[in-house]
Amino acid sequence: MRTVKLSDIDARIAQNTRAFALERLTDREFLEWARLLRSDQGAERAALRDLLDFRIKDLAEPYASAWQYLFEFWDAPFAETSYDRLLLKRDLKSRASQSETVSLIVSSVRPWIRLESARKYEAFGHKRARHPKTIGDIFWISMEGGEPLTPDEIDLKNNEDRDFLFELALALNASLLSGLNQARRIGMIAGDADATTWLVHRVYFVPPNQYPEGGGEPDRYKKGFAPTTKLLFATVEQLARIDQKAALRAISSWDVDRWKLYKRLWAAAAREASLISASDVAEFLVNLDDREFWWTDAFPEFAELRALRWSSLPDLVRTRLERRLIKGEPPGRLIKRLGKDEALEAVTRRSAIEMQRIKIAGGQLSDDGDSWLHNFLSAQTAQVPITSVTQGFDVGVRTVLEDTVSDPTFDDIPSSRLIEELARQLSDEGWDSKSRAASDYIGRNPDLILDLLSGAAYTAARAKVWQALGYSFRPVDINATRQTATPEDMSLVPTALKMCAVIATTDTKILDAALPGLTSWMSTWDRLLNGEDDYISAWLTLWPMAVVQTNNSPKIDTPLRDRSFSTPVGNLVDGFIRAIPNFKSGTLAREPWSNVLVALADATGEAALQARYQLMMYFDYFWSTDQDWVKRHLLAPLLDAKASSIELWQAFAETEYLPAREVLEAVGSRMIEVAAGSELPADIRGALAQRSIFATIIDMRDGHPPTIPSGLIQQMLRIGGDDVRARALRAMKKYLKEPGGTPQPPAERFSLIKELFEKVWPKELTLSSPALSDALADFPAAASQSFADAVDLILPYLTPFQCWSLWEYGILDRSENGNAIGGIHTPRDAAALLAILDKTVGSEEGAVIPNGLDRALRHISERNSRLENDVRYQRLLTLSRR
């Protein structure tokens, strides 16, 4: 049973959660609700864990297993963002303690169970049982893992600490074994069916000299088991260079008889003769089953081991293996797929490849073996020579640049038939070589195609070619402007303007049929046609059709942000915004640009919503251009936004600049309401909270009355949650570090922030949480010379949190390679630092001790030696020695 210390508010949440859950433990929808609980919803999670500790034995399957899988899913180390990985690499380089470093590395790569909604099965055509009978009727279960962590990222090759490497090897092994056991329980591994075999291309990091053209490390994009497996092997490999006996003990702990991945790891290690004896290798190779012996896609390490260690094997074993190679793979599996004749050819070809692999590695075949191989190769008219031991192994993802050449027959087709022939070659079902050739021809000959299409009446062929022209005629660099474009792209601008003019006069039935391609074209030429009236004329021609098509499209359950850039309306609005010349304030006041505002205002439904979302992101420009239009068509919908349109606030939160004071006065109350509510994700609500704090700071700095009443801001901080409070703190810290505007002395900046904090920050200590402490930890460092005063301000709101390093407190001096402590100069500063460390570093079992705590204590002692006798100092000193 887990014991979790909860605040008063969290205790009430937990009590309500238990009462709500008591009769719903076998409710599939309730389990789905529990799956979506975030890591910061500790009270709800703790309540469910506590309840299930007593009730799990009373639950029937599959519900009992579903709850167990759910708890394992909650324990997953979700550190997948770029920022999380940056923190990991930073901490690894900041001389963390050995146990902390090992824990960080293992957490970043280990495999874990991933739960998704069982509705995912329905997307694949499977129907869920009305009354769940299996775990698949409740959750979609799979294995997930961290991003690959390479040896270079943790400087493994230069690490000669034998004890560290041994501990890391054992920890990674335990993590891999745990993941394999989980995979077996969820059905990924069942008898000979082992899905993990295909999830790891190679169990070791492939050296760069083996990368294929356009490729890289074959598992560089793999999650799940690959990161742990590869790092485990790299660690043991480095350990073997320092202490072979220790490496052998690590290898001996691998459960080779049970798991295919461990068997592959052993084979990779056995390539090194000093680690594994020839007799052990011989026994291993002789006992491989047919799949392991022949399937190099699944077991490449076995084929590589056979080739590299061939010469060291006993004669009898070589003879036995050679006979097996000549006999070939049992063809039964291949006959079903290829037919008898082709299957027998494939078997013989595979045998020849493996025998060549042995010879490439320096191994010798018997006279009979050489004769067999020579006869086979002599009989082959076309063959790819084997030039390396690892040739033919799965290389993972490659980027291949194909030099495509248009079908020359298009040049010989009379112009009267060219459109029909191109349309015939353009496939509706896939992207084959004929479609590519036709599309390439169209893209390279836009003037000719436009001449043939201009003024022509509707036919299905013309519509198809128009569509292809939109997709294929585009600049090489779609992000280039006229100032940065290549001469080749600039030479296409007159043709692009010609296409705009032709679009404006083309049959609307044709344009409607080709709309996806044409609106895509508009969004790729907007920068090079910046400020061109012809571009806007084409835009106005396509807009009414785009509105209708977007509104008539099937509704999809994706965020408005994603929808707003993937539809005809989205492409056109995006293109219009980027085509405005340098965002000059007078541009939209003249025709045809002013007509665009009219067209945008007339849009309805989903099209209007998508258009407003994009326009809202450039709110400042449109406000400076036409305030009346913005008030009617952006501000009014924003204030009325609810349900499906509430996401407009996300666009407002992402505007580059803080809106004008008049705007904030209009939206302030509603913005606070949205930030404090629950309709939007926490990060968006946090961004709105940050804006409200910035607005208040500027008002205080400039001596203006508050745009947003302080009472509303305090209420937002009170009920908005940890994310809202953390983003509000970020605004305060940013002002302390980078005030903007007229520079102010640091003391004045802190005085302003202190006044603001005391005025708006909720006084309820029950709102304290680990997440809030994490956000507050570097607040004093941001205050610079007022470090001690800032600590006094925030100390009551601090509580222990998972702090891995002194970086979290902002006190490490970046100019000193992150090792020196800065900003703590006086005895009072030292006492303040001790106070904040005491409040945020816990003593309970499993508490995280920040890397560098011993350094911080030494610094405190140097600045104020009397603190060494303080009980808080002694407690932290004891923790630093763990």
Report d(CA 531, CA 235) in Å as an integer: 58
Find the range with the poorest average confidence among 195-199, 231-235, 433-437.
433-437
For residue 45, the Cα-to-chain-centroid distance in whole angstroms is 25
Burial environment of residue 753 by CB neighbours within 10 A (0 to 12, 13 to 18, 19 or more): buried
Q: How confident is the model at residue 82 (pLDDT cuts 50, 70, 90)?
A: very low
User: Following DSSP, what letter does each residue of 315-353 receive, concatenated?
Assistant: HHHHHHHHHHHHH-S-THHHHHHH-HHHHHHHHHHHHHH
Q: Is the pLDDT of residue 81 over 80?
A: no
- Pairing state of beta strands 189-190 and 193-194? antiparallel
Residue 381 pLDDT: 61
Cα dihedral sign for 648, 653, 659, 661? positive
Residues 745-778: tens digit of each pLDDT: 889 999 999 999 999 999 888 888 888 999 999 9
Q: How confident is the model at residue 336 (pLDDT cuts 50, 70, 90)?
A: confident
Residue 38 pLDDT: 81
Write a three-state SS string for 468-491: HHHHHCCCCCCCCCCCCCCHHHHC
Residues whose CB falls within 8 Å of the CB of residue 636, separated by 6 or more in sequence, listed in order: none
Cβ neighbours, 10 Å, residue 90: 15
Find the range with the poorest average confidence among 247-251, 593-597, 804-808, 835-839.
804-808
Question: Average pLDDT in the 76-103 region?
Answer: 60
**Which has more confidence, 583 or 515?**
515
Q: How confident is the model at residue 642 (pLDDT cuts 50, 70, 90)?
A: confident
Residues 255-267: tens digit of each pLDDT: 999 999 999 999 9
Burial environment of residue 682 by CB neighbours within 10 A (0 to 12, 13 to 18, 19 or more): middle
Residue 93 pLDDT: 57
Q: What is the largest CA-CA distance in the chain?
A: 98
Mean pLDDT of the chain: 87
Q: Is the pLDDT of residue 404 over 60?
A: no
Residues 666-721: tens digit of each pLDDT: 999 999 999 999 888 888 999 999 999 999 999 999 999 999 999 999 999 999 98
Question: Average pLDDT in the 356-366 region?
Answer: 92
Q: Is the pLDDT of residue 278 over 80?
A: yes
Find the range with the poorest average confidence among 72-86, 653-667, 700-714.
72-86
Q: Helix, strand, coil shares of the chain as percentages rounded to 5?
A: 65, 0, 35
What percentage of residues in the chain have a pLDDT greater than 70? Answer: 91
Residue 80 pLDDT: 46
Q: How confident is the model at residue 384 (pLDDT cuts 50, 70, 90)?
A: low
The verdict on pTM exceeding 0.75 is no
Residues 124-147: tens digit of each pLDDT: 666 777 788 888 888 888 888 877
Nearest CA-CA partner of 172 in 61, 89, 62, 254:
254
Report d(CA 535, CA 221) in Å as an integer: 41
Residues 563-594: tens digit of each pLDDT: 888 899 999 999 999 998 876 666 787 888 88
Cα dihedral sign for 62, 68, 74, 77? negative
Which residues, listed in sequence order, are joined to residue 821 by a DSSP beta bridge?
812
Q: Is the pLDDT of residue 289 over 60?
A: yes
Residue 536 pLDDT: 94
Q: Is the pLDDT of residue 628 over 80?
A: yes
Q: How confident is the model at residue 610 (pLDDT cuts 50, 70, 90)?
A: very high
Find the range with the poorest average confidence among 121-130, 228-237, 422-431, 559-568.
121-130
Q: Is the pLDDT of residue 1 over 60?
A: no
- Cis peptide leading into 62, omega within 30 of 0? yes
Find the range with the poorest average confidence among 471-485, 706-720, 839-853.
839-853
Torsions phi, psi for 271 (to 5 deg) = -60, -25
Q: Is the pLDDT of residue 478 over 70?
A: yes
Residue 371 pLDDT: 92
Q: Is the pLDDT of residue 79 over 70?
A: no
What percentage of residues in the chain have a pLDDT greater than 90? Answer: 50
Q: Is the pLDDT of residue 880 over 90?
A: no
Residues 35-64: tens digit of each pLDDT: 988 877 888 898 999 888 888 888 888 899
Residue 339 pLDDT: 77
65: left (phi over 0), alpha (psi -120 to 50) or beta: alpha
Find the range with the poorest average confidence among 126-130, 421-425, 476-480, 848-852.
126-130
